[in-house]
Amino acid sequence: MGKNRFIRNDSRGNATKTQELDLMINSSNDDSPIFGLGQCSLDYIGIIPAYPPPNVKCEFSNLHIGGGGPVATAMVALSRWGMSCYFAGVVGDDEFGKTILESLHNEGIDTGGVVTRIGHSSQFAFITAEPALCRRTIFWQRPTGIPLKIDEIDLDKLRSSRMFYTDGLHTEASVFACRKAKDAGIPVIVDAGTLREGMLEIATLSDCFIASEIFSKALADSPEETCRKLSDLGCPFVGVTLGANGYIALVNGRLIRKAAYPAKTIDTTGCGDLFHAGVAYGILHDWDPEKSLDLGAWAAAAASTEMGGRKGIPSTKQLKEVFS
């Protein structure tokens, strides 16, 4: 059994011995799943030369159809890298929902936590990718059915997991599951894409909370200030992804900032998902924070060289060659 050790701060940012946090990684219990709770989507992605002005027609090319969603895509990456994964979320009883579930089943992910809302639509996104500018624009619709409910969470599965991983979209369920995971001594990892209701409460319950640049701009005047604010909430490992500018993190009071890996970018969809998956993989393997973050940055760059968030996921062989 290994320990990935961080220090949990009190509300004033002071570390205390009684608040020392050990993320226990039991190498003899590799079959225990990572419990993911969050978004699962079907993504339609097309390449455009430049984002159009209003009232014009814009032709796209290279249509790509594939599964998406921050937690779902992270589970796909972790599953391909040899981790057992369980996913909880919501789909509708439409064709998109069937395709979403099939995409997860094909990756060996346990979808026993997915609830199908009868008579409702699944999450869907149309995404325009601009390779020349290394950016994409997402138009999305959340599931029309109600969010996952507390009593729809399999607590036995959660308590037997090795990590809880969420994006906070199902707010009430996510907060509840974070509390239960914390009570059970299970590390809580958060992909914070948007500063929505409940996210700061989730930060107080998290062991690793990494936000997007959009989240950061909504919370503070700079990524550094965002890191400090999140750290002051008691999370020992916080960070902000900055796209082509890399990332910044604050771990136990130590600031880490690095540039992005160079890449021939086609589509940035899923880059953040892969960054978070890489960090989670590092934590599960008892890596130090710098190495975990570096894996995340490397995986994100690899994802950007293909269309969609999953086609460019590096193989386990590539991962081990680079991070042996």
Six-digit token pair at 145?
């059915």
Q: Is 16 exposed, middle or buried (0-12, 13-18, 19+ CB in 10 A)?
A: exposed
d(C-alpha 108, C-alpha 84), whole Å: 8
pLDDT digits (tens, 9 = 90+) for 57-89: 999 999 999 999 999 999 999 999 999 999 999
Can you tell me which residue has the tokens 């032709």? 59
Contact 93, 117 (CB under 8 A): yes
Q: Considering the chain, what percentage of its residues have pLDDT values greater than 70?
A: 91
Cα(203)–Cα(195) distance, integer angstroms: 11
What confidence score (pLDDT) does residue 319 get?
A: 97
Q: Which tens digit of pLDDT belongs to each residue from 235-263? A: 999 999 999 999 999 998 999 999 999 99
For 145-178, write each residue's pLDDT tens digit.
999 999 999 999 999 999 999 999 999 999 999 9
Nearest to 198 by CA among 215, 182, 217: 215
Give the pLDDT band of residue 324 (cuts 50, 70, 90): confident
Q: What is the mean pLDDT of residues 87-111?
A: 98
Given a cut of 70, whether residue 4 has pLDDT beyond it is: no
How large is the angle between the packed helices 95-105 and 70-80, nearest 10 degrees?
Answer: 30
pTM of the complete model = 0.91
Is the pLDDT at 13 greater than 70, yes or no? no
* pLDDT in the model for residue 254: 94
Q: Say which range, 18-22, 36-40, 113-117, has the weakest mean pLDDT.
A: 18-22
pLDDT of residue 25: 44
The CA radius of gyration of the chain, in Å to the nearest whole number, is: 19
Instruction: Please tell me the predicted confidence (pLDDT) of residue 122.
Output: 98
Q: What is the CATH number of domain 2-40+69-121+146-322?
A: 3.40.1190.20
Segment 178-190, tens digit of pLDDT: 999 999 999 999 9
First-to-last alpha carbon distance for the chain, in angstroms, is 20
Q: Which residue's structure tokens are 């949990």?
A: 8
pLDDT at residue 31, rounded to an integer: 80
What does the block give as tokens for 250?
Answer: 């604050």
When the pLDDT of each residue in the chain is averaged and rounded to a whole number, the result is: 92
Q: Domain boundaries in the chain? A: 2-40+69-121+146-322
The two tokens of residue 261 are: 């890996």
1 CA to centre of own chain = 25
Which region holds residue 198: left if phi is over 0, alpha if psi is between -120 and 50, else beta? left
Q: What is the pLDDT of residues 266-319, one digit of tens each?
A: 999 999 999 999 999 999 999 999 999 999 999 999 999 999 999 999 999 999
Quick check: 113 pLDDT over 80?
yes
CB 136 within 8 A of CB 309: no
